[in-house]
Structure 1
Amino acid sequence: MGVSDQAWTVETVLEELRTGGSEANRSGMARFGIETSKAFGVPLSVLRPLARRIRQSPERLPGLAQDLWESGWHEARLLAILLTPHRSLSPELALSWLNDIESWDLCDQLTNVLARRAGSNELVAALVADEREFVRRAGFALIAWRAVHAKSAPNSEFIEDLDLIEHFADDERNFVWKAVHWALRQIGKRSADLHQPALALAEALSASEDKTARKVGRAAARELTSEKVLARLRKPIEE
């Protein structure tokens, strides 16, 4: 990729992306269920270093992240997320961007940043109640990421999230049920105290009359009872 770092504008970034994209990567994205009608075919392994170069450049124009988002190009939107620190990702901005999202990877990258922001759990209930597939996914992805990143969050937050998981476990849409399952697994792996209630829900869902809920429950129970997870949860106690 050969564009100079002297002046990062939306135009120079898009040219960089055009140069770095490939039809092979676009095809790979499509195989993973990513909409590619407006994609260059640039992998994250290239986008992350590019984001670091742009962040470090003194010639980055103000508002570049928003301009990249508004361009509508898939990789430009991923860069917009990578260029936005969690302290700058206000709930209003996150919700505005979520309204445009029609791809699981954008959804997951955005919620990964949002989960690091204090108070982002307050968005969960509204997101999961939204009927739009990727907005609902965002709610459960946010739960999953907070289980990883929100180190000081109380257990009570995630116990409440289990009620949402139980309620929406029958949403059969591919990108929703996978996020529900992800959220349940991450809660159960967060701590020994949360493991038992998460596993209890997984086992209850495994016995559900609804096939999607059963799928969610069985997949979560399988991981939460694995020796790898159980050993990691025992480790702090033994030390």
Structure 2
Amino acid sequence: MTIDEIVSYLFAHASEKFKANVVKLGIPEDCSIGVPTTELRKFAKQIPKDKLFLKELWQTNYHECKILAVLAMKPKECTNEDIYFFMEGIQSWDLCDLFCKTIVIKMADYGTFIQEWIVHKDLFYKRAAFTLIASTSTHVTLTIDEIKGYLKLIETCSDDERLLVKKAASWALRELGKTDEVAKTLSIETAEKLKKSTSKAQQWIAKDALKELELLVKVEGRKRLISAKSKMGREG
């Protein structure tokens, strides 16, 4: 299968309605084809998995081709140089989150990316750091000290007015809080500190996170806390 054949397949399965939705994410119209993610996930199983081929596919600059590349990429074959190659081409929050949750979080040293990117000025590097914090709590078993460390990063590095960063910071805070009752208490304490901050961005993050944090409950059979508003939470 060639790059041209993949692009032709995508255009044949495109939808103008879906393309309009994708463009709303901030992706330039000329970089979007308009193929639903469900279709991309199925198609990704059929395309070559060679890293050089996938990097070439990425360089078409089509949003859908980039998603395919992420879905087909083997994380174990990625180097730090590859991570930066892909990061430089990210133009939307959905691709940023997919890349972090599918590839970066599986790197042995993903923690170094969190430390570096959380102080980065670029929008998607900054969001990626918070996305990784949100993802790490579901990816590995964190110690209380590790949770405290991540909460401290959120507290000290979340003064950013950009909505995509604020949403990711709130997400990270909420996901850490779902770890267990101790983590919930620590996350609420962090949110309360942010709520008292002079930073409007941090006040927003705190209020947004507390909407869920304060409703988290322990339900038998579930390792992580869940919302009391969910069906399982109400039954529990």
Normalising by structure 2, we get a TM-score of 0.86
When residues 18 and 157 of structure 1 are mapped into structure 2, their CA distance, relative to the original with a 3 A threshold, is same
Structure 2 unpaired stretches of 5+: 225-236
> Contact 2:177–2:183 (CA<8 Å) still a contact in 1?
yes
Alignment partner, residue 13 of structure 1:
6
Partner of residue 230, structure 1 = 217
Q: Pick from 84, 89, 92 the counterpart of residue 95 of structure 1.
A: 84
**Count of aligned residue pairs for this structure pair:** 223
Measure how far apart 1:138 and its partner are.
Answer: 0.8
| CA-to-aligned-CA distance 1:6-39 (integer Å, 9 cap, x gap) | xx22111111111111211111112344443311
Q: Is the Cα contact below 8 Å between 1:68 and 1:77 reproduced in 2?
A: yes
User: Once superposed, which parts of structure 1, at least 4 consecutive aligned residues long, lie more than 6 Å away?
Assistant: none
Match of 1:27 in 2: 20
Code of the residue aligned with 2:123 in structure 1: it is E
- Write the distance in 2 (CA, Å) between the matches of 1:187 and 1:144: 7
CA separation in 2, counterparts of 1:156 and 1:115?
19
Matches of 1:33 and 1:96 in 2, distance apart?
21
Change in 2 beyond 3 A, CA 1:77/1:224: same
In 2, the alpha carbon distance for the partners of 1:185 and 1:147 equals: 10
Separation in structure 2 between the aligned mates of residue 112 and residue 235 of structure 1, nearest angstrom: 22
Structure 1 distance, partners of 2:50, 2:84, is 24
Q: Which amino acid aligns with 1:139?
A: A
Cα distance in structure 2, aligned partners of 1:62 and 1:180? 31
How far has the Cα of 1:185 moved from its partner? 0.8
Task: Report the 3-state secondary structure (helix = DSSP H, G, I; strand = E; otherwise coil) of the residue aligned with 2:81.
Answer: helix
Matched, 1:105 2:94: yes
Alignment partner of 1:205 is 2:187: no
Partners in 2 of 1:213 and 1:199 — Cα distance? 13
1:170-181 superposed matches below 5 A: 170-181=159-170
AA matched with 1:171: D
1:195 paired residue number? 184
Matches within 5 A, 1:8-157: 8-54=1-47, 63-113=52-102, 114-151=104-141, 153-157=142-146
Percent same amino acid at aligned positions? 28
Give the C-alpha shift of residue 232 in structure 1. Answer: 3.9
Show structure 1 runs of 5+ residues with no match: 1-7
Cα pair distance change 1:62/1:195, threshold 3 Å: closer
3-state SS, counterpart of residue 183 of structure 1: helix
Say if 1:192 and 1:233, in contact at 8 Å, map to a contact too: no
* Inter-CA distance 37–54: structure 2 relative to 1 (3 Å threshold): same
SS state of the match for residue 63, structure 1? helix
Preserved CA contact (<8 Å) 1:116 1:146:
no
Cα separation, partners in 2 of 1:222 and 1:232, compared to 1, 3 Å: farther
Cα RMSD (Å) of the superposition?
A: 2.1
Q: Deviations over 1:120-173 (max 9, x none)?
A: 11211111111001111111111111111123x433333212122112222010
Question: Which one has the bigger helix percentage?
Answer: 1
Mean CA deviation greater in 62-71 or 213-222: 62-71
* Mapping of residues 215-226 of structure 1, within 5 Å: 215-226=204-215
Are the structure 2 counterparts of residues 235 and 28 from structure 1 closer, same or farther at C-alpha, using a change threshold of 3 Å? closer
TM-score w.r.t. structure 1 length?
0.85
Q: Distance in 2 between matches of 1:115 and 1:61?
A: 20
